[in-house]
Amino acid sequence: MIHVNRYERVWLTFGFLMLAAFLATITVAAVVDGINPPSAGTTIDPTKVADTAPFDKPGLRQTGPKAYEAYYVARVFSYTPAKISVPVGSHVTFYVTSPDVVHGFSIPLTDVNVMVVPGWVSSVAHTFQTPGTYLLLCNEYCGAGHQNMEGQVEVTP
Ligand code: CUA
């Protein structure tokens, strides 16, 4: 039998225990707590996005005083709509889907950062408390024009 140094054995055991703990954690989160990637929990046929409401007419809808829903289609290499404009203090719920490949939907300096997976509608909400023009960025590599994939969220005073 191979001789394994005592400290090495302790360290290996620690490593395997950590691995088991992490696997148990994500299994419990996924199966028991039902934690999934951010999603409205709705699916969509990625080949029929252009014909499926509300993504056949992407854009901003006002749902109440300073409350909006924004429907986005993310595709290589742009967002539709490219730009939205809301007054400061607005609570915006974003719904995003992709007809082609996996994209990102990230607005730096906010907590908006979701993956956009074909076949699924991703959802994330944010209240914009500071006026300015926020950049919307794709942060999942999606092809040769990935670095050009951007949009804008204008928050007016
Ligand atoms: Cu879309 Cu990177």
Residue 122 has pLDDT above 90, yes or no: yes
**Mean pLDDT value across the chain:** 93
Residue 77 CA: nearest ligand 1 atom is 1
ω before 46 within 30° of 0 (cis)?
no
Residue 139 CA: nearest ligand 1 atom is 2
Spacing, Cα 149 to ligand 1 middle (Å): 6
Q: Report how far apart, in Å, the C-alpha atoms of 20 and of each of 27, 32, 34, 96, 113 are.
A: 10, 17, 20, 35, 29
Ligand 1 is surrounded, with C-beta below 6 A, by: 77, 103, 138, 140-142, 146, 149
Does this model's pTM top 0.75? My answer is yes
- Tell me which DSSP letter residue 46 carries: G
In contact, 132 and 153? CB cutoff 8 Å: no
Question: 39: pLDDT confidence band, cut at 50, 70 and 90?
Answer: low
Spacing, Cα 80 to ligand 1 middle (Å): 13
Burial class (CB within 10 angstroms; exposed 0-12, middle 13-18, buried 19+) of 109: exposed
Percent of the chain having pLDDT more than 90? 86
